Structure 1
Amino acid sequence: MDDRPDPVPLSETARMFTAVPIEITVCVGRARPLIRDLLQLGENAVLTLDRRVDDPVELYVGDRLIARGQLEELDGDRQGQLAVRLTEVTDLEAGLA
């Protein structure tokens, strides 16, 4: 059984852009080191982020937050590849109008 939701009906304006590829950035956390600490970073250094492994990640198109979700690791022939299970999606249609 396919667990994808039914497609959202698109306005004429939105339909014009459905074949245009976009880049989605997934933000897993932020770090705010002092410049002196940043200058001392080297190979194998660890930069601590402001989030935990199980915290939600944020998905952005440009600077616009479009969704939140949980990181997952895929199984099978794609084992080790990261994915995001969406838990909250903004009203994308309103942003295109």
Structure 2
Amino acid sequence: MDENTTQSANPFTQVPIEITISVGKARPLVSDLLKLQNDSVLPLDKKIEDPVELYVGDKLIARGQLEEMEGDETGRLAVRLTEVADLKNGL
């Protein structure tokens, strides 16, 4: 059986999953956190050009660069994958 036949025979390949995109982490002091309000700026530990990380649960599955969609989707964010884990043996 080829890979496409195996995937179509497995009903779980049609189940949607949620992927979390991590753009960075912030580590404010609790006192600073309590002062947050509209228009506050919370610095992250990454630069804008750093890759983002894609997770399913707590499993890192890929890295990529943030992009803006074009055409009818202009203004929406997307991720261009630059590195993908081998998921053939599961998560």
TM-score by length of 2: 0.87
Alignment of structure 1 residues 1-97 onto 2, 5 Å: 9=3, 12=6, 15-96=10-91
Secondary structure of 2:89's aligned partner: helix
TM superposition outliers: structure 1 runs of 4+ over 2 Å: 9-16
> 1:18 aligns to what SS in structure 2?
helix
Name the SS of the counterpart of 2:10 in structure 1. Answer: helix
The change in CA–CA distance for 1:45 and 1:15 in structure 2 (over 3 A counts) is same
Q: Distance in 2 between matches of 1:20 and 1:76?
A: 28
Structure 2 letter corresponding to 1:63: D
Which sections of structure 2, spanning at least 5 residues, go unmatched? none
Q: State the aligned residue count.
A: 88
Kindly report the root-mean-square deviation, in angstroms, between the aligned alpha carbons of the 2 structures. Answer: 1.9
Structure with bigger RCO (C-alpha 8 Å, 6+ apart): 1
Amino acid aligned to 1:91: D
- In structure 2, give the amino acid aligned to 1:80: G
